[in-house]
Copies of this chain bind each other. A is one copy, B any other.
């Protein structure tokens, strides 16, 4: 399959790139872990995300809500920010800021006994709304005092997670969620009037349009603060199971974009909410942390395509999740296990990490965009682009650029044989707990192939890129700053 892209000096294409806006993480308490922080630092070096969003701010392992009875039988309430500060300090050290998600419920405030996940999140309303508001406000007041009002006001704040699922919100009770939103959004704005608040953080699926509509109508009617609308986007269809693993087929990127556009249109149908920012606070291929797709090259190509389009419909989209320190279904038992992470434990990059790294570092303005290629023009006369191959066969990309003189094409290739550590790990017999020596080899196998080509152009540069199935390639084409030292010519040894 050949694909031709012809760039001219005047070429322009629409492209909004918010790929670096936010990234997901399991739950806040995991951010205390050393492995978590190490992975986040590595991811940040390559990707530079601005915000990080995860569950569990108010889960018991964070220890924020304190309730005890003294020897005299008197009950006491208190707030403990030891771990919250430690997590936020770690985030800031990694050059990332929290995107707050207010939830779940502290055990002591839970109205019902329902819990979710290995880590036993209480996914129910508060038994005492006043206590919930005190908890929210004490937390925000503390953050404001410690990190400064200007800083904290810039952190987005979402209320709860996926209330349209009964597992995440008792009986998926819509009026209950709207009530929670009402009291919480107001509570937030009392402490931090400039903080951006939003919801309803629904997961997608059939109930989503109704939830979005009712949520917007409710906010309009009650004149509630609302700075963005949030929802999730997963591409998974038709699960099959083997052992403890699940296998989904994935929908087309077009479908996902169409689904998002549907939500966008609902928002815009409310005159009051027209053009309100839309945040996709979670997205991925499969929504299951034991689906092997996340470890694959295919996932990287799929995400590359999605990232080339997501800006058409949303202002924030947050890949769920940056790393494999994650415990919803228990402690991962094996290096590769279908976890959401862009990076496997032991700091082994998965192919998807490179897709984000390539998109997050794009500079310049868009000159061309199609379903397998994106090209940017930089002010200094150089070009930069990303290509991906989601088709079933190998693809040859014929790129032509204007220009004359010496140019260098630098490519970084992620394909079956490069930056694909899963393949090596399968060959190695799937060692659950690799030794440091094995990990070093896998990290070596997880690097893109860096290659160059030199052009001495009379009139235009014609560069051919070969992309194997599911490959993702980053390239730059730069005029050569020629400064060779007189006489250096190793060609007799080459």
Contact = CB atoms under 8 A, between A and B. Distances in A.
Given A82-B333, A452-B445, A247 B492 contact: yes
Nearest to A442: B450
A334 B427 CA distance: 42
Nearest to A436: B89
Contact of A292 (B76, B89, B436, B488): B488
Copies held by the complex: 4
Q: How extensive is the interface on chain A, given as a class?
A: 35 or more
Interface in A435-494: 435-436, 441-442, 444-445, 447-454, 480-490, 492-494
Nearest to A119: B61
Nearest to A330: B63
Interface in A307-339: 330-334, 336-338
Interface of chain A, helix or strand or loop or mixed?
Answer: mixed
A363 to B, nearest CB: 11
A366 B19 CA distance: 47
Given A445-B451, A451-B417, A68 B429 contact: no
Given A299-B493, A331-B83, A444 B444 contact: no
Contacts of A448: 444
A217 interface: no
Contacts of A493: 292-293, 296-299
Interface in A178-202: none
A380 to B, nearest CB: 11
Contacts of A338: 488, 490
A485 B337 contact: yes
A241 interface: yes
A34 interface: yes
B429 A406 contact: yes
Contact of A485 (B85, B418, B430, B482): B430
A331 B121 CA distance: 17
Contacts of A410: 424, 428, 441
Nearest to A142: B433
Given A68-B244, A242-B489, 17 more contacts: A32-B34, A63-B333, A70-B243, A82-B433, A142-B433, A243-B487, A244-B485, A245-B487, A293-B493, A296-B490, A298-B493, A334-B485, A338-B488, A428-B452, A428-B454, A429-B484, A447-B447
